[in-house]
Chains A and B, each alone.
Chain A
Amino acid sequence: MTALDQSSPAAAPTPEPTRAGASGGAGERARRWWLLPTVLTALALIAVLVFGLLAPSDVQTAYRIAAPGDLNPGGIIPGDVPVPTKIAAIVLAVLALAVAVYLWVRAARGAMPRGRARVAVIVGFGVLWVLSFLTWAFKGATVDLGALLQTMMLLAVPLAFGALSGVLSERAGVINIAIEGQLLFGAFGAVLVGSVTGSAWAGLVAAPIMALVIGALLALFAIGYQVQQIIVGVVLNVFAIGLTSFFFGTVMKQNPGMFNQPLRLPTIRIPLLADIPIIGRVLFEQTVLVYLMWIIVAVLTVALFRTRWGLRVRAVGEHPRAADTVGIDVSRTRWSNVLLGSAVAGLGGATLTIGTGVAFGEEMSAGKGYIALAAMILGRYHPVGALLAALLFAFADALQLNLSSLPSGTGAGIPSQFLLMLPYIVTLFAVAGVVGRVRVPAADGVPYVKQ
């Protein structure tokens, strides 16, 4: 022991061992603390004004709760619930405004909600605002909540699989821009093998294997040859489009019966549960792909954060040299994660074809891989987050589809071009709103060079 330890006088200040710089920060209000309450207040006021006060007072909007055939003993649950458009929109918008005011109050007390509480407040606001919007946008028509959610699920599954592919690969430190190509190859492989063998199940097996081709190429160039990973990803996407378009334009066109049939995986219906109003069919009357997605999200969440494998993967993505010095094979971990990820994205591709019962079409992934990438970022590289983000984007897309197919004379008459922009606007704002707060794996995109 040093003399110092024995004789430090009690009068001497014993400094807290904290990292330098942490001093002044605590207790100070975060800069731009006013931003969130301001934005929410503005949005709520717009809702009050546009959805409420400017709406005609003599129309109604119906909400379909229980569809015919749903589990509805004795008709307890009402089928369609009509509400007066103007009043309902105003009430909902005012409730949203109340949430914004609550934030101002918290801010004034210097106790802005953080972390999950903050997310909860934002989500609560979002739900109220969207309901207000729906009431206005569907005036004179019926909001079929069950159908809306069903469409959302259909659109969300490929995004979720794609985002999970991104999570797998980027958690290990390899940027995966090639999700688009993996989806496309998966969709292509599912139809091709399914048609040749005449079995959608064979297609389901083929999709991840086909997507592995893109994954293997990504791993080979990004890990093996340390090529700039964003460039490899983009090139692979172009390659996937080119190759699938070529086969689509040649053999598939000449003999669609042999090579490009619209096959569909059977829908697996869980009795009783599937009859629950609104959420029944969304959750319990789906193809095996949707159930697989739930399973993969759950398994991956546990695996990444509770197992030896997950700890090592995250170590490789954060600090590969540290992982190397404790005997973890960085290259092998990255290879296996990229391959695993691409296989998962292949399942997403299968959803586009055999999951929905359509034949393969040229460039049918249509940018979903990039939206999946955004979902991964918005979901903070977490499987559950990625799934929720995929659902959010898909909801915007589903809303767009439902609104544009309203019978003429009903609805708010939003131009269809604006509706088409909706999913992308939601994506842009959602991602822009969290960027900076997302913690990217530190070694993401950085090749590991062993001396």
Chain B
Amino acid sequence: MKLELRGITKVFGTFVANDSIDLVVEPGQIHSLLGENGAGKSTLMNVLYGLYRPDGGQILLDEQPVRFGGPGDAMRAGIGMVHQHFMLVPPFTVAENVVLGHEPTSGGLLDLASARRTVREISSRFGFDLDPDAVVEDLPVGAQQRVEIIKALSRRAEILVLDEPTAVLTPHETDELMDIMRQLRDEGTSIVFITHKLREVKAVSDTITVIRRGKVVGTADPATDQTELASLMVGRAVELSLQKEAAEPGETALSVRGLGVTDPSGVTVLDDVDLDVASGEVLGIAGVQGNGQTELTEALLGLQKELRGSVRLDGKELVGRSTREILDAGVGFVPEDRTHDALVADFSVAENLVLDQHHRAPYGTGPVLHPRAVRERAVRDVAEYDVRTGSIDDPVSTLSGGNQQKVVMARALGRDLSLFIASQPTRGVDVGSIEFLHRRIIAERDKGTPVIIVSTELDEVIQLADRIAVMYRGGILGVVPADEDRDVLGLMMAGYTVEAAREAVAAGARTTDSQLVDEGEIA
């Protein structure tokens, strides 16, 4: 089926999310929609899927104009969507999730046998190994995504929209997904692939459309050079690789031994972690989301309750201390979720900048806050970090994601630190700000601070880290040098030990994008 969007416009308040976007997806094609976070890709697809009503423009399927009142209409017209945040009901089984909304019945009751058959049929066609009776919340994310794909296919989708599908996958799973996409394309399904990851776009697309600030800024074919695509996406020349000096690690400053965390239901979520970080080095922690990274950083900050083991910073034990004591010991922390854990949305930029220090000189004495000192700090940080804000008194929630992240970073780095921990330091941040934030992190390292960076983006870990630890199921699988083969890291993220991963790679296990690197296709 051929899909055409003509002049789609969507406005939220005064913000134009989609500004007269034109897009043509030919049948049997993988069409990538490339753009930064907040460029308007997801909005466009939600318009296509009937979740948002467009303020202007037209959707045409096989040259026929259509109007969608809701996702039901879009599905009936043959459009399927795999959402970035899965639209699966966690306590339902795979079969129940797949048939939800178009349930087969027999004699008034649900016909789950036929639902199971549907799941098995589509599973076997694509070589998925899915138990129709498995409960979705017990499945790993990769499998959940397959459930989403089956869900779309079981409704005979001819156009499949994949919204940032690789954000939650290991490199290996990403590769498998790309195979599935190619297989679907070859069977005649049109695919719209939304992403901000250049290497994936180059690996799988037939056509690329680049979107910036709600507008189509160009189309490209997959042979286009990666830096060129990035510049198109960001709107100016960007430096994709980070220039940094080699680390000059000093003495071991942080030493973690046997650190374990048990969650409230009695499950061990962090298991016997040993780590050493020297002053003046960056330890990168790689791993697929949800493998204990959150618990590790929170344990270091004293935010986890059921704690075992020991954490020594410059010889002082941190386990058993309160979070305030740990902060006072000079630990700077950037939590992974800035809106929930880092910022108070209704507080001003200035107030958010001193949240962790408000009780100490020069910002406060006893019960009194010193507004002038707070303002001075804010003015200084806003200038230094180039935070784009109308005023330091504006609520922090009015800032864009990238600028909010700069506030969080400025707060954590605004004093002398004995340890800096940043979790997902650039999640949802535009490419321009990423460059800046990365340079700040390296600058902190060069001041001699031990740094821990946790990121689920392997590229980011490789760029920043001097050594890389890979986390898998609550434990550290191994620590490798930063120049370790990318494929080895990818396999480790899937649970291979260092040795097994190296053997596998030596025996020729490569992922698509590293093959492309070999062929000189991408950087």
> B-contacting residues of A (Cβ < 8 Å)?
1-4, 7-9, 11-13, 15, 17-25, 28, 30-31, 302, 306-308, 310-312, 314-315, 318-319, 321-328, 439, 442, 451
Contacts and interface: CB of A to CB of B under 8 A. Distances in A.
Contacts of A315: 89, 92, 100
Contacts of A3: 508-510, 515
Interface stretch (B321-329, B363-371, B478-486, B491-499): B491-499
Contact of B474 (A4, A9, A23, A307): A23
Given A2-B176, A30-B266, A31-B266, A328 B497 contact: no
Contact of A15 (B86, B96, B494, B509): B494
- Going nearest first, the 4 A-B pairs with the smallest beta carbon separation are A327-B72, A24-B268, A15-B495, A326-B101
Given A308-B103, A328-B101, A451-B51, A17 B87 contact: no
22 contacts: A2-B175, A2-B176, A3-B515, A8-B504, A9-B504, A12-B501, A18-B140, A20-B288, A21-B263, A21-B269, A23-B473, A23-B474, A24-B267, A25-B266, A25-B267, A308-B103, A310-B110, A315-B89, A318-B89, A326-B87, A328-B72, A328-B101
Nearest to B46: A451
Interface in B68-115: 70-73, 75, 81, 83, 86-92, 96, 100-103, 105, 108-110
B292 A20 contact: yes
Contact of B90 (A312, A321, A325, A442): A442
Contact of B100 (A9, A24, A302, A326): A326
Contact of A311 (B49, B103, B143, B500): B103
A17 B103 contact: no
Interface residues of B, number: 69
Interface of B, secondary structure class, is loop
Given A322-B88, A322-B89, A12 B474 contact: no
A24 B509 contact: no
Given A7-B509, A308-B105, A312-B100, A318 B110 contact: no
Nearest to B290: A20
B503 A11 contact: yes
Interface string B248-281: 0000000000000011011111010000000000
Given A7-B507, A9-B503, A30-B266, A319 B473 contact: no
A307 B109 contact: yes
B89 A314 contact: yes
Contacts of A439: 91
Given A11-B503, A17-B140, A306-B110, A327 B75 contact: yes
A21 B515 contact: no
Interface string B317-344: 0000000000000000000000000000
Given A17-B143, A21-B263, A25-B268, A2 B88 contact: no
A321 B51 CA distance: 10
B38 interface: no
A22 B269 CA distance: 7
B172 interface: yes
A4 B509 contact: yes
B292 to A, nearest CB: 6
Interface of B: 46, 49, 51-52, 70-73, 75, 81, 83, 86-92, 96, 100-103, 105, 108-110, 138-140, 142-143, 151, 172, 175-176, 179, 262-263, 265-269, 271, 288, 290-292, 472-475, 491, 494-497, 500-501, 503-504, 507-512, 515
B71 A311 contact: no
A369 B385 CA distance: 57
A7 B143 contact: no
Nearest to A329: B70
Given A4-B504, A327-B75, 9 more contacts: A7-B504, A24-B262, A28-B268, A302-B109, A306-B110, A308-B110, A325-B49, A325-B81, A442-B90
A2 B268 CA distance: 34
Given A307-B110, A308-B103, A325 B474 contact: no
Given A314-B89, A325-B51, A326-B100, A13 B497 contact: yes
A15 B290 contact: no
B269 A4 contact: no
Given A2-B176, A314-B89, A321-B87, A327 B101 contact: yes
Contact of A21 (B87, B143, B473): B473
A4 B497 CA distance: 16
Contacts of B87: 319, 321-322, 325-326
A269 B491 CA distance: 72
A21 B268 CA distance: 6
A31 B508 CA distance: 46
B75 A12 contact: no
Most buried by B among A11, A314, A319, A451: A319
B481 to A, nearest CB: 21
Given A4-B510, A315-B100, A325-B81, A28 B175 contact: no
